[in-house]
Structure 1
């Protein structure tokens, strides 16, 4: 009887210990969830407040970032607030450290140009370089699309496939292809190709879009046409490179005259001039 009571007491103590341990763990877990949720709420509030500045220009800023090859949409939330914050700090620093009126006006103009104009100029420069790079890479994408069409894929399926497979080759061209594929599912391939020519306004992209549009409208075989188009684009790139090489000789003439011809003339004339001066 005593042994049974002892085992019952031990079992009750073990059960109580396990229950107490589990309750403490559950309590700690609830506290952690509450604190993490509070931090997340505060962080989201910070996001909303900071991202609220310039909210009316979010679409325009997003288009600028995407055209420049910056696809992280979290960054565009802070683009306008950071610019305004830097401008405010610059104005405060000028008011504290610059006292003359003329220098203050020049400093204000320099701050406005540096904070407001230069970032937009940088995005425009990146957009131009990105368009040129996409045009250079276009023949390789056209060759892959020609192979996809020859295997029996439709144009929509080829765009969707290349939008996934081109990530390791060129993320910027892949983004344009994937965006065209998504637009084609919503408003049709012809409208998506028109949007592509607006995002990448080059003669090569317009020729590519026109070729696909003719295939959609008239049902012509597009695979051999795409192969010929890619070959034409490569030949055009070779001609442009040869033209740049041909212009290089004329561009090198000015440095040659400045840094080689003038020193040679000085070296030739220097001994005679030195003897004349020493003779006098």
Structure 2
């Protein structure tokens, strides 16, 4: 047996050496591929971060989008898409985050398309079914769909504005903490806004956009009071409007901005905590509705069904004589 092992030893040694070589080659290739993938991922992240900062720091779009080109082409053919309450509509769309100059005209175009398109789709679907459509049915459902198409864009804008305001409210205490750190480190208000906007470009892009726009307005020569008030108006959030007013008063009175930021950040966090507690206290009341509507009838049926069966079994023989 030992002689056979000794004779086969060179063969086993060659196989072991080949196995080790193959394993080393595979490990080397996988290490190189993994390293290149990590480098590509870091480059992609850096490029995305640079693009997001560039997007946040810009006050206007250099190239029109597809919607703007479509609106321009329609208006060139003599169809005016300017709303009668253009200023109010522009303010509403800005609250929802649509700050493009062509946003009111795009909104008007979408309302026209939905108002006319939904009834037209219903009529086409009814005609293509092969059944003779009822005039009352066409009139009723067409009117309902027209009204729905008229108000759906408004509902969408209102929901988007509420969601945007909620995101700004949730992230603004973090921005105040960063501003406090920057101010206590010796930065001015404009430099603190710029630094916080760059730091929060990925975590809270809405707040970063507000701060970046304010910084650009200050650098363009706008007064500090007017720039802060415009920031509050763009946000359309009571807390940020109060914050802008507080900074204006602190600037006029010469009080410490750091202490102002510390107190206001504490108040905003306390307010957010109170709102969370208010929502938690509303849960029992909201849960009672499905409890009463769904679970209570089932529980009553389970408890009363045996008694009802016994009563039926007792009464039916007695009534039958």
So what's the TM-score if we normalise by structure 2? 0.63
Query: What's the counterpart of residue 116 of structure 1?
Result: 150
Match of 2:97 in 1: 69
Name the structure where helix makes up a greater proportion of residues. 1
The 10-residue stretch of structure 1 (130-139 or 193-202) with the greater mean CA deviation from structure 2: 193-202
TM-score w.r.t. length of structure 1: 0.71
Counterpart selection for 1:127 from 150, 161, 165: 161
User: Quick one: distance in 2 between partners of 1:179 and 1:255?
Assistant: 46
Query: What's 1:235 paired with?
Result: 270
Q: Distance in 1 between matches of 2:310 and 2:139?
A: 57
Q: Quick check: 1:156 aligned with 2:190?
A: yes
Range with greater deviation from structure 2 (238-247 or 96-105): 96-105
User: In the alignment, is the contact (CA less than 8 A) between 2:173 and 2:265 conserved in 1?
Assistant: yes
Q: 1:181 to 1:51 in 2, by over 3 A?
A: farther
Deviations 1:130-150 (A, max 9, x none): 112211211111111111112
Match of 2:245 in 1: 210
> Which deviates further from its counterpart, 156-165 or 76-85?
76-85
Tell me what 1:246 maps to: 281
Q: Which runs of 5+ in 2 are unaligned?
A: 1-67, 128-132, 317-321
Structure 1 residues 192-207: aligned runs within 5 Å: 192-207=227-242
Between 145-154 and 177-186, report the one with greater CA deviation.
177-186
2:309 to 242, 261, 274: 274
Residue among 187, 191, 201 paired with 2:226: 191
Quote the Cα distance in structure 1 between the aligned partners of 2:195 and 2:231.
17
Name the structure 2 match of 1:49: 73
Q: SS in structure 1 opposite 2:243?
A: helix
Q: Is the 8 A contact 2:95 2:236 kept in 1?
A: no
- Structure-1 separation of matches of 2:75 and 2:235: 29
Shift of 1:191: 1.1
SS in 1 for 2:187: coil
String of CA shifts for 1:62-113, please: whole Å, max 9, x gaps: 6544422356778776444344344444455566657544333323422322
Structure 1 residue 212: Cα displacement: 0.8
Q: Distance in 1 between matches of 2:283 and 2:226?
A: 42
Report the alpha carbon displacement of residue 245 of structure 1 after superposing the two structures with TM.
Answer: 1.4
- Name the CA shift for 1:252/1:89 in 2 (closer, same or farther; >3 Å): closer
For residues 146-191 of structure 1, what are the alpha-carbon distances to aligned partners after superposition, in whole Å with 9 as ceiling and x for unaligned? 1111222221222223333321111111122222223334421211
Deviation at 1:118, TM superposition (A): 0.4
Residue in 1 aligned with 2:212?
Answer: 178
The answer to which of 71-80 and 97-106 deviates more is 71-80
Alpha-carbon RMSD across the aligned residues, in angstroms, is 3.1
Say whether the 8 Å CA contact 1:51–1:77 is kept in structure 2.
no
Q: Which residue of 2 aligns with 1:226?
A: 261
Stretch deviating more after TM superposition (223-232 or 53-62): 53-62
In the alignment, structure 1 segments of 5+ residues that lack a partner are 1-43
Shift of 1:122: 0.7
After the TM superposition, which residues 5-84 of structure 1 pair with which residues of structure 2 at under 5 Å, given as runs?
A: 48-50=72-74, 54=80, 56-57=82-83, 63-70=91-98, 78-84=106-112
Aligned length: 237
Match of 2:53 in 1: none
